[in-house]
Structure 1
Amino acid sequence: MGILDRFRHNRTAQDKAKQASDTAEKKANEKTGGKYESQVDDAQQRAEGALGMDRDRPDRPGQP
Structure 2
Amino acid sequence: HVYAVDGVDEALELLTGVPAGAPLDGDRFEADSVNERVRQRLHELAEIGRRHAGEQSPASEAKP
Higher Cα Rg: structure 1 or 2? Answer: 2
Q: Which has the higher helix share?
A: 1
Answer whether TM exceeds 0.5 for this pair: no
The normalised TM-score by structure 2 is: 0.42
Higher relative contact order (CA 8 A, sep 6+): 1
